[in-house]
Structure 1
Amino acid sequence: MSDYQPPLEFVSVWVRDPRICKEDFWHAYMDYEICIHTNSLAFNRKSSCVRRRFSEFVWLRQKLQENTLLLVNMPPLPPRNPFFSLNNAQQINTRMKGLQTFLQTVVEIPLLLSDSCLHLFLQSQLSVELMEACVEGRGGASVTMAIQNSAPSTQRFPEEDLKED
């Protein structure tokens, strides 16, 4: 009998680096960098970074809920704040922590790890519309191809975070 034990699977998720994006003179929004590092067989790319805005998290949560047919009690997103300020560091940090908690909880639910929307959200720069088209087979590429063809962004994984895993 062997003492060999396969390494435990892990998925580490970071939400960080909030950035204000201006659409025009009057309109701006905040997006966040989402980085994952994993050894999970569920993921084609073992590390990646993408940028997403709050409305895309709302879309993801709705899609995951629809796709699981209410079999999973979906974790909450941080509440929408009508008075959210792009200049209020405390509000931004609170939202960022809430988004990270949401994603960390999601990747710990085995049923959700097979969802194509989750993989496209975490590992491609596709817009919501293009993610939906890809999942529905209208995108001209498979989910795997869309992820592999996604331009890798600069990956900054804190060394101390990786050592913990």
Structure 2
Amino acid sequence: MTEDTTTKQQTISVWVRDPRIQKNDFWHAYIDYEICLHTNSVCFTKKTSSVRRRYSEFVWLRQKLEANSLLMIKLPELPPKNPFFSLNNARQITERMTGLQRFLEQILQSPLLLSDSCLHLFLQSQLSVNKMEACAEGRTPFSVSQAVQRCGLRRFHSDEDLHKNMSLNWDSDSSECTETEPSLLNKSQSAALFRYPELDQEDSRNCTCESA
């Protein structure tokens, strides 16, 4: 089998889905999205993964990829930032989610970008932006591969599994990935986001627009 044939048989499938409201505090909130990846590509340490990322982290990723590629390729655009983006507007959320998925699909078609450590940490670890940057630059006691491998896999093979997500956070005092109970919408609340755009009265008052 030739190298070209092997390459053609390698696939990378990515989904951006399951938007959920996360509250920073009483007044500030944002939406994050689940990124699911299935692949048989030799470029990836993990063949199946699931993480949650917010829009500002996508912005960080694009900036890093652009800087690291030294402008050798033209990167796809992210859905534009909307100063009036509302956590209660199902249409805006769906459009952004679709745009984020399209962005990742195009990124993953580039062999050059597939070699970027920031992309792998973004897709397959739940490290914060600062820790992803430090890890990619070799300023952490763990490697990129270790960061990816040590973060547990959340299963998402069914709708029930999809709504049992655990938030994975890197312990700041160790190099191990720990599971903590997330402050996410439950299954009925997540579904209500699209059925009832106003959500409940408290969220409507306090979480109208996404925080930066």
Q: TM-score by structure 2 length?
A: 0.71
**Aligned alpha-carbon RMSD (Å):** 1.8
Runs of 4+, deviation exceeding 3 Å: none
| 1:99 counterpart residue number | 100
Letter in 2 for 1:33: E
Alpha-carbon distance in 2 for matches of 1:137, 1:157: 37
Letter in 2 for 1:18: P
| 1:84 counterpart residue number | 85
Aligned pairs (5 A) from 1:20-39: 20-39=21-40
> How many residues end up aligned between the 2 structures?
156
- SS of the equivalent of 1:131 reads helix
| Deviation at residue 19 of structure 1 after TM alignment | 0.3
Alpha-carbon distance in 1 for matches of 2:59, 2:125: 17
| Deviation at residue 139 of structure 1 after TM alignment | 1.4
- SS of the equivalent of 1:96 reads helix
| 1:73 counterpart residue number | 74
1:154 paired to 2:155: yes
Letter in 2 for 1:138: R
| 1:116 counterpart residue number | 117
Alpha-carbon distance in 2 for matches of 1:135, 1:157: 33
1:60 paired to 2:72: no
Q: Deviations over 1:7-54 (max 9, x none)?
A: 611100000000000010000000000000001000010010000000
Q: Deviations over 1:70-117 (max 9, x none)?
A: 001000000000000001000000000000000000000110000000
Q: TM-score by structure 1 length?
A: 0.90
> Which has the greater radius of gyration?
2
In structure 2, relative to structure 1, the CA distance for the partners of 1:151 and 1:73 (3 Å cut) is same
- SS of the equivalent of 2:148 reads helix
Tell whether the 8 Å contact from 1:48 to 1:155 is kept in structure 2 after alignment.
Answer: no
| Deviation at residue 152 of structure 1 after TM alignment | 1.4
| Deviation at residue 154 of structure 1 after TM alignment | 2.6
Tell whether the 8 Å contact from 1:21 to 1:31 is kept in structure 2 after alignment.
Answer: yes
Tell whether the 8 Å contact from 1:18 to 1:32 is kept in structure 2 after alignment.
Answer: yes
| Deviation at residue 136 of structure 1 after TM alignment | 1.2
| 1:131 counterpart residue number | 132
Alpha-carbon distance in 1 for matches of 2:158, 2:91: 24
Structure 1 portions without partners, runs of 5+: 159-165
Alpha-carbon distance in 2 for matches of 1:135, 1:11: 22
Structure 2 portions without partners, runs of 5+: 160-212
| 2:199 counterpart residue number | none
| Deviation at residue 157 of structure 1 after TM alignment | 7.1
Alpha-carbon distance in 2 for matches of 1:13, 1:135: 22
| 1:162 counterpart residue number | none
Letter in 2 for 1:38: T
Letter in 1 for 2:109: E
